[in-house]
Every structure is written in structure tokens, then in C-alpha cells.
């Protein structure tokens, strides 16, 4: 769509060739050049101070043996990176990410399902939108505590189940499988709303005439989804998948609050935090954080290669 408009502009400009206006005076030109940067100062300053400067610091620390507090630190070259890549126990925690990866597949499908349904005219749709999005607004730490009570022995989950006559004696956070599944479930509950809103926005940006035209052609809901909605939301869907994968690799809040990484629920980020703050290996932990960043970049790059971001053209 943008391409065609640009082309027409170019054509008219070339065809009509209006008399070129005199160039504005020098001062006005400077001002015009500077103005956008003035507007950008505040966000750029924040971005640099709170994102790029810490990242640069972290990169610098990753080449040292700093313990996080001592005034002395020594340059160790690539020593920290060698240690990370020669210790397989540091990577074993990525198996835990598998649970969250599986959960995010469920999460995306559920979000897509709800977004599609609620994009049609359903009764109470705004209420349901609110219900689905609400968990995302709650602080992650609060969610951790709430669900700790939820999974407690005789807690909310057990009481609800007993209403239906199911009396399990199951310790929900008791075994690695059960605990990780429970935690991944909490994470689905929390992030479903975000995915849902992204997808809903994408779906609603599809022009309504398309549905009307499709209906005239005798398309049912499934056809509409398959041939209008699915291709229309592809870029947002790709984005959601990327966010989910990077999210599953760097899970932190929920397991940290609820189990502290006990019972086989330790994730890569919890391990990194422990290295830095418990064992005083800030240098090694910084290197681990850099490695995580690179892994996520790599995964994203592979994904973009496999699923290229085509231009969507529904019309």
C-alpha cells in the first residue's frame, strides 16, 4: 500500500515539475535539523543510561574476576567465557526452559483462539477482554505469592478440586515435573493477556469489508480465519513467537519467588543471579548474561531465516 502511494507522489512530482521553491534560510534549516533531536534527548538519555550503559558495563565486567563489591578487579581475558563453555552443568538448566517453551505454544494458541472469538461480535466481549488482560497488569512478585498459596497443601487449588469431589494428596510443587508444569502454568496465566491483546489488535486492523466480501462468497468462520485473519496477523504472530522463545529462555520472576529454584526449577537467569550474588562471581555471571543474550539473538536470527517476514498484502 505504501509503495503505490509513494509511486504516485514521485510520478506527479516528475510529471508536473512545479517551480522549485527557494531553499529556506540557513538558520531555519539548522533549526529544522535540530528539532527532532531535541525531542529525542529525553528518551535517548533514558535509553542510554538505563539500557546501553549497564549493558556496556556488564560486557566490561564479563572480562574480569570482579566479585561485585571489592574495589579491586582484575582483567581475566576470555577466562569467564571459557569456564562457561567448558562446564556443562551451567547449561543443564536450559532443559527447564523446555517446559516454558511448551507452555508458550499453548499460550499462543489460546491467545489466538480468544483473540479470534472476541474479534467477532460476542456478548460481554469487553468484559472478557478485561478478564484476559488483567493478570498481565499485576506485579510478577505478587503473582508469585498468590500462586504460592494457590498450590499450598490444602490451598486454593486443593479446595477447588475438592468441590468437584476430587481429593488428591498431590504436592503440586513437590516433584520437578509437577513443579515446573505448575510454574509454567502460572506463566501462561500471566502472559496470555499480552499475547491476546497483540493478536486482537492485529485482527481488528483488518478492514471489515473483507469479512463482508468473504461472507457474500459463502465463506464460514473457519474460512475467514484461514484465509483472512491468519495471513493478516502473520507479522504480529512472528513477533509473539520470538517474544515467547526469548521469554522462555530467560524466565526468572515466577520460579524465583515461588520456589527459589529448588526442586529442579532453576532457570538460567536464577543460576546467573546466584552466581553473582551468592557466590560473588559477578564476572562469571556477567559472562553468562552475555551468553544468554547471544543465544537469544541467535535463536531469533535462525527463526527470521526460517520464517522470513514477508510483506502482507490482503487486498
Partner 1 sequence: MNRRHILAMVVGTALLVPACTGTGGSSQGAEAEAPDDPSKVTGTIQVLTVRTDLIQDGTLKRYAAEFNKVYPKVKVEFDGLTDYEAEVKIRMNTKNYGDVLLIPAVIKKADYPKFFASLGTQEERGKKYRFTDFTTVDGKVYGQSPVGVSPGFVYNKRIWREAGVTEWPTTPAEFLDDLKAIKAKTDAIPYYTNFAAGWTLSGWTSVNGSVHCDPKATDKLAEGDPWAKGADLRVGDTLLHDMVKQGLVEKDPTTSNWEESKARTAKGEIATQWLGTWAIVQFKDAAKKAGVNPDDIGFMPFPAQVDGKFCSVIGPDYNQGINIHSPHKEAARAWIDWFTDKSGYVEDNLAISPLKGAPLPEVMKPYEAAGVKFIEVNDAKGAQVKQIDSDSEVGINAPEYRQNLVDLARGARDGSLDDFFADLSKRWTDARKNLGS
3-state secondary structure 286-313: HHHHHHHHHHHHHHHHHHHHHCCCCCCC
Q: Residue 49 has which C-alpha cell? A: 543510561
How many other β-carbons are positioned within 10 Å of the β-carbon of residue 76? 18
Closest approach of partner 1 to the CB of residue 62, in Å: 11
Judged by beta carbon, residue 135 or residue 264, the one nearer partner 1 is 264
Give whichever of 3 and 89 is closer to partner 1, judged by the CB atom.
89
Q: Which residues bind partner 1 (CB under 8 A)?
A: 48, 52-53, 56-57, 59-60, 64, 66-73, 148, 151-153, 155, 169, 171-176, 179, 259-264, 274-275, 277-281
The conformation of residue 314, written as its DSSP 8-state character, comes to -
Burial (CB count <10 Å: 0-12, 13-18, 19+), residue 123:
exposed
User: Alpha-carbon distance 198 to 203, whole Å?
Assistant: 9
**Based on CB atoms, which residue is closest to partner 1, 152 or 181?**
152
Q: Which is nearer to partner 1, 275 or 291 (CB)?
A: 275
Q: How far is the CB of 46 from partner 1 (least distance, A)?
A: 14
Q: Which lies closer to partner 1 via its Cβ, residue 13 or residue 171?
A: 171
Closest distance to partner 1 from the beta carbon of 268 (Å):
15
Grid coordinates in use for 275? 552466581
Kindly tell me the burial class for residue 273, based on how many C-beta atoms sit within 10 Å of its own C-beta (0-12, 13-18, 19 or more). middle
Provide the minimum distance between the beta carbon of 87 and partner 1 in the complex, in angstroms, as a whole number: 10
User: Given the complex with partner 1, which of 73 and 239 has the nearer CB atom?
Assistant: 73
* Least separation in angstroms between CB 77 and partner 1: 13
Task: Work out how close the CB of 161 gets to partner 1 at its nearest, in angstroms, rounded to a whole number.
Answer: 15
Q: Hey, what's the cell of 307?
A: 520464517
3-class secondary-structure state, position 201: helix
Cell of 314: 490482503
From its phi and psi, is residue 85 left (phi > 0), alpha (psi between -120 and 50) or beta?
alpha
CB nearer to partner 1: pick between 193 and 255: 255
Q: Shortest gap between Cβ of 121 and partner 1 (angstroms)?
A: 44
Find the angle CA(26)-CA(30)-CA(32) to the nearest 5 degrees: 115
Q: CA nearest 81: which of 72, 90, 70, 68?
A: 90
Amino acid at each position: 500500500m505504501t509503495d503505490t502511494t509513494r509511486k504516485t507522489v514521485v510520478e506527479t512530482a516528475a510529471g508536473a515539475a512545479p517551480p522549485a521553491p527557494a531553499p529556506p534560510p540557513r538558520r531555519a534549516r539548522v533549526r529544522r535539523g535540530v528539532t527532532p533531536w531535541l525531542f529525542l534527548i529525553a528518551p535517548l538519555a533514558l535509553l542510554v543510561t538505563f539500557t546501553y550503559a549497564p549493558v556496556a558495563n556488564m560486557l566490561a565486567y564479563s572480562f574480569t574476576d570482579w566479585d561485585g563489591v571489592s574495589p579491586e578487579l582484575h582483567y581475566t581475558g576470555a577466562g569467564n567465557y571459557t569456564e562457561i563453555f567448558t562446564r556443562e552443568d551451567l547449561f543443564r538448566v536450559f532443559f527447564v526452559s523446555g517446559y516454558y517453551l511448551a507452555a508458550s505454544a499453548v499460550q499462543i494458541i489460546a491467545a489466538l483462539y480468544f483473540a479470534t472469538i472476541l474479534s467477532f461480535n460476542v456478548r460481554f466481549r469487553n468484559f472478557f477482554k478485561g478478564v484476559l488482560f488483567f493478570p498481565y497488569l499485576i506485579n510478577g512478585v505478587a503473582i508469585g505469592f498468590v500462586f504460592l498459596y494457590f498450590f499450598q497443601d490444602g490451598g486454593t487449588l486443593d479446595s477447588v478440586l475438592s468441590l468437584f469431589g476430587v481429593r488428591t494428596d498431590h504436592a503440586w510443587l513437590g516433584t520437578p515435573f509437577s513443579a515446573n508444569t505448575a510454574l509454567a502454568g502460572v506463566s501462561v496465566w500471566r502472559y496470555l493477556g499480552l499475547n491476546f491483546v497483540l493478536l486482537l489488535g492485529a485482527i481488528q486492523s483488518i478492514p471489515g469489508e473483507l469479512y463482508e466480501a468473504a461472507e457474500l462468497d459463502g465463506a464460514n468462520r473457519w474460512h475467514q480465519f484461514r484465509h483472512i485473519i491468519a495471513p493478516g496477523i502473520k507479522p504480529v504472530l512472528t513477533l509473539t513467537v520470538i517474544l515467547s522463545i526469548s521469554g522462555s529462555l530467560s524466565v526468572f520472576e515466577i520460579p524465583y519467588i515461588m520456589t527459589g529454584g529448588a526442586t529442579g526449577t532453576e532457570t538460567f537467569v536464577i543460576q546467573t543471579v546466584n552466581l553473582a550474588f551468592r557466590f560473588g562471581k559477578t564476572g562469571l555471571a556477567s559472562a553468562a548474561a552475555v551468553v544468554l543474550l547471544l543465544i537469544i539473538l541467535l535463536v531469533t536470527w535462525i527463526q527470521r531465516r526460517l520464517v522470513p517476514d514477508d510483506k502482507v498484502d490482503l487486498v
